Amino acid sequence: MEYGLIGEKLGHSFSKVIHEQLVSDYTYQLKEIAKEDIDAFMKAKDFKAINVTIPYKQTVIPYLDEIDESAKRIGAVNTIVNRDGKLIGYNTDYLGFAYTLRKHNISLQGKKVLIMGNGGASKAIQEVVHQANAKQVLIVDIIASKETMTLDEIYKKHRDCEIIIQTTPVGMSPQVDASPIDLDGFDKLEACVDVIYNPLRTSFLLEAKKYNIPCVNGLEMLVAQAKYAVEYFKDITIDDVHIESIYQELLLEQSNLVFIGMPSSGKTTIANEVCTKLKREVIDIDAQIVERIQMPIAKYFELHGEAAFREIETQVTKELANSHHVVISCGGGIVKNYENIKNLQHNGFLIYIDRDIDQLLSDPSRPLSSSKEAIQQLYDTRAPLYESYSDVTITNHDTLVVAVDQAIATYTNQITIINM
């Protein structure tokens, strides 16, 4: 191996894709190494340069001949360059996080900053925070120490934090429902950052979004730290524009395109056309429910009531919470339960398809939109929810071709909305 990433488990790493887009004529390998084999690997020095991930960021330090000053302060190394048999260690997590803060105009100077977690990722971030001259830095860990405190202490004394940085695995896929902190009462919050990038929006970030707090996930940091690593690997300079292009491409690759809106607004038809153009699978939530209940939805409403139907709807959205790269068409009432929306927002870019009332068709087979009057009442109730929960709104007042093109253009051009 000349260039690559070492770690104990690397199954879902994006590193190969990112690195090979940063430099041409460059092969980047993923190498899983068992703990009992790391000593022999490091002593052999059979590589030109490597990245290091869990659980070896501290393990590799005794094998190094030199360590960059910031990596020394952090106490962890994620980048090693072999210069004529001399191993030199760096920490580009530090540089990647600093880039993310700059990119999103998040200033820590003079701020009260709360860092969730005290592991390897946290150490690099703590260095960035201290270098940025934060007024006060609080670190939460499961067990309090001289350096850390418990979450209970934060709730009792420190709800005036202005920035929260989440560095723990809590909320990572597949356990997307979990969040490390309840943001209720944190009235001075200016920004929330989560180093997790799968899902794209953790429960922690979705709660911040509900409070209209700017929030950022860890995907941009991942791409940025890779860029800095390649600069060390190859002794070159790479323009930051490459960070943004790769980051946007990954967002599109990992995200779902989700359509919400009124019954007969065109969600299913548009979704089917979009999936063909984008070469993605389409998932129709109502169709999935019909397959489960083995009867028309109107009949199920009649026999079991709306509440029973909504329970099944929520089960389906929960199963979709960890999905990627699909197009999803939702039933009109999906917005009645915020849990549905949260499930879809984890990896979803939500587009509200708005349509004039007089273009929405009454349908006796639809239990809640069987007449014009029923449609008007539904629209008045649901339109504010569609607008609130969607990332963007498009209109479907013209032809199908226009609506489909608008949906695709909006998605591809505004995908970064998912991370702000």
Helix, strand or coil for residue 46? coil
pLDDT for residue 362: 52
Least confident of 126-130, 197-201, 359-363: 359-363
Binding residues: 264-269, 286, 310, 332, 366, 382
20 pLDDT higher than 60: yes
Give residues with Cβ within 8 angstroms of 224, minimum separation 6.
95, 96, 97, 99, 100, 243
Among 35, 57, 227, 234, which one carries the catalytic annotation? 57
H helix runs in 215-305, sequence order: 219-234, 241-254, 267-278, 285-293, 297-304
Is residue 43 part of the annotated active site? The answer reads no
Residue 111, phi then psi, degrees to nearest 5 = -100, 155
Distance of CA 376 to the CA centre of its chain: 36
Q: State the number of CA atoms in the 13 A half-sphere of 381 facing the CB.
A: 13
Binding residues for Mg(2+): 268
Q: Dump pLDDT digits (tens) for 253-289.
A: 999 999 999 988 999 999 999 999 999 999 999 999 9
Q: Dump pLDDT digits (tens) for 115-169.
A: 999 988 899 999 999 999 999 999 999 888 889 999 999 999 999 999 999 999 9
Binding residues for substrate: 286, 310, 332, 382
Distance between start and end Cα atoms, the chain: 38
How far is the CA of 20 from the CAs of 15, 24, 47, 160, 240, in angstroms? 8, 7, 17, 43, 16
Q: Where are the domain boundaries for CATH 3.40.50.720 in the chain?
A: 105-213
On whether the pTM is more than 0.85, the answer is yes
Four-way CATH pick for 105-213: 3.20.20.70, 3.40.50.720, 3.30.70.141, 3.40.50.2020: 3.40.50.720
Four-way CATH pick for 3-90: 3.40.50.970, 3.40.50.10860, 2.60.120.10, 3.60.20.10: 3.40.50.10860
Confirm or reject CATH 3.40.605.10 for domain 255-419, answering yes or no: no
55 pLDDT higher than 80: yes
Binding residues for ATP: 264-269, 366
**Nearest Cα residue to 1 out of 65, 82, 63:** 82
pLDDT for residue 289: 96
Q: Where are the domain boundaries for CATH 3.40.50.10860 in the chain?
A: 3-90
pLDDT for residue 146: 86
Q: Where are the domain boundaries for CATH 3.40.50.300 in the chain?
A: 255-419
- What is the C-alpha to C-alpha distance for residues 390 and 382, in angstroms, rounded to an integer? 12
Q: Do 404 and 270 meet the contact criterion of CB atoms below 8 Å apart?
A: yes
* Exposed/middle/buried for residue 147 (C-beta within 10 Å: 0-12, 13-18, 19+): exposed
